[in-house]
Amino acid sequence: PSFVHLSTAIAANTSKCLKIAAQNVYLEGNGAWTGETSVEMLLDMGLSHVIIGHSERRRIMGETNEQSAKKAKRALDKGMTVIFCTGETLDERKANNTMEVNIAQLEALKKEIGESKKLWENVVIV
């Protein structure tokens, strides 16, 4: 759900059988980041999962591989599970760049996270 509907989704999940995930998070901690949502805010809401690097964030908002990786590292450092989105645009697919694009996204994540098995255990790559 969108950020403004997260509380409603959390409240409706009375059986707790679903994991509710935020659609995005800011790469910095709490501070004067008007309009942004920090990891700490998501944790305060009781969330444990966050989606990072969705194609719309990359394509429309211009989020880079490095920014997505930094967001993931911040969320992981705070104990969240990261659903890390990878994928190519239609133009990249038509140009046969699928592997290069996906590898670059994952390499940025690996550069940020390193070899920590503890952190990687909380990454879901989609």
pTM: 0.92
pLDDT recorded at residue 31: 86
Range of the domain at 46: 23-125
Q: Does residue 13 lie within any of the structural domains?
A: no
How many domains is the chain built from? 1
Residue 18 placed within a domain? no
Whichever domain contains 70, its CATH number is: 3.20.20.70
- Residue 6, domain member (yes or no): no
Instruction: Render pLDDT for 91-124 as a digit per residue (tens, 0 to 9).
Output: 999 999 999 999 999 999 999 999 999 999 999 9
Cα dist. 118→39, 73, 81, 113, 122 in Å? 18, 12, 11, 10, 7
